[in-house]
Amino acid sequence: MARRLLGLPWIVLVGMMAGVGSGLQIVINTWPVTNSTRAAWNTLLNNGSAVDAVVSGCSQCEADQCRGAVGANGSPDEEGETTLDAMIMDGFSMDVGAVGCLRRVKSAIAVARAVMDHTQHTLMVGDLATKFALEMGFSETNLTGNRSLDKWKDWKSDNCQPNFRERVIPNPRQHCGPYRPQEMDAFDDPTYFSNNLPTDSNPILDIDNHDTIGMIAIDQSGNVSAGTSTNGLTFKIPGRVGDSPIVGAGSYAMNGAGAAAATGNGDIMMRFLPSYNAVSQMLSGTDPTTALQRAMAPIIKYYPTFRGAMIAVNMRGKYGAVCHGYTNWTFCVADDTAPEVQLHYIDCKNSMKTVNSANTHNYQTNVYLIIFIISTSII
């Protein structure tokens, strides 16, 4: 009897995840990149799937090199090279394709889809991801352009400031590399940290050097998809991969629950899997805004000066957004009620006002309780 009772909720859940064919359609994405929203929305209007829409929307952003932070000719690393990260997730099948540190191929989100469609893998990286892309028919090209090259040259001439090195010599706040680890006894010097670590007056990150397009779509069949594309942090250490291609960090989608996507300081945000967190809460009935607030709260607790933003939408088409570290932030929406692309502006300070530590604590307690009940019932 216990097994039969336990099985009932799972049957209901599978039914929810399969797609309900509600006819509701929506596209929502980070940042004021309306061309991308429009491209995705037009794909839905032409009977494309949610996955098709996210790929077309992110591809438009890559082609437009929007905000200089997506696609080619932007965000050079320490060696002056632009590399790309991208991910696509199908909320119907829970399949994912992702690429990290992709070199010399422009269409990162399309390559990510090829990983999803033509392999049993989830994430491919670096030169071997490029090799795979060429096998799939993509073209190899130089991702460095005049804009990114000029930015890199200016950075080099300014002693490689700012950069992401810590606890190395020579002093990364005054010199370029090559670097080597600082001996541990140097940490006894009271001036070491003040001389070697960034300050608020000279932040490494600002609003224009770490943008990601995160996009969510729901199609007429009631299926949801989410994806991301970015060229990562400006002047990142070569080989760095951010949150964008990491499942549950950059984005996450699940039929019956909804989807979420993130942008901002990915090195911090990926440590908390905020997109997965938000979708998990929507699955239990939490509204999108509250789910996002609760997903963002623990990041702020440990890293109060980080900068980031998130969007989410549930299967009824209700959406929300939160941000932290910016004064305000903008996202785009197109849906059946407002098919023309709408820009939404939010005040970052107010977007997180209703969250407190009790909310986060209660959510964690509920998760542990559910796991305990399931474990004991199976036994």
212 is catalytic: yes
Residues 105, 111 contacting (CB under 8 angstroms)? yes
DSSP string, 122-169: SEEEHHHHHHHHHHTTPPP-----HHHHHHHHHHHHTTS-S----SEE
Per-residue pLDDT of the chain (379 residues; tens, 9 = 90+): 333 333 333 322 332 333 334 458 999 999 999 999 999 999 999 999 999 999 999 999 999 999 889 999 999 999 999 999 999 999 999 999 999 999 999 999 999 999 999 999 999 999 999 999 999 999 999 999 999 999 999 999 999 999 999 999 999 999 999 999 997 655 555 554 444 444 433 345 444 445 799 999 999 999 999 999 999 999 999 999 999 999 999 999 999 999 999 999 999 999 999 999 999 999 999 999 999 999 999 999 999 999 999 999 999 999 999 999 999 999 999 999 988 999 999 999 999 986 543 333 333 434 333 333 334 444 4
Residues 221, 90 contacting (CB under 8 angstroms)? no
Instruction: Look at residue 230 and give its three-state secondary structure.
Output: strand
pLDDT tens string 21-59? 445 899 999 999 999 999 999 999 999 999 999 999 999
Average pLDDT, the chain: 85
- The pTM (predicted TM-score) of the whole model is 0.84
What's the confidence (pLDDT) of residue 21? 40
* Distance of alpha carbon 43 from alpha carbon 57, whole angstroms: 9
* Distance of alpha carbon 216 from alpha carbon 61, whole angstroms: 14
For 6, 25, 226, the CA distances from 43, given in Å and listed in that order, are: 40, 11, 15
Radius of gyration of the chain (CA): 21
Q: Tell me whether residue 35 is exposed, middle or buried, using C-beta atoms within 10 angstroms of its C-beta: 0 to 12, 13 to 18, 19 or more.
A: middle
Q: Could you say which of 30, 82, 212, 230 is catalytic?
A: 212
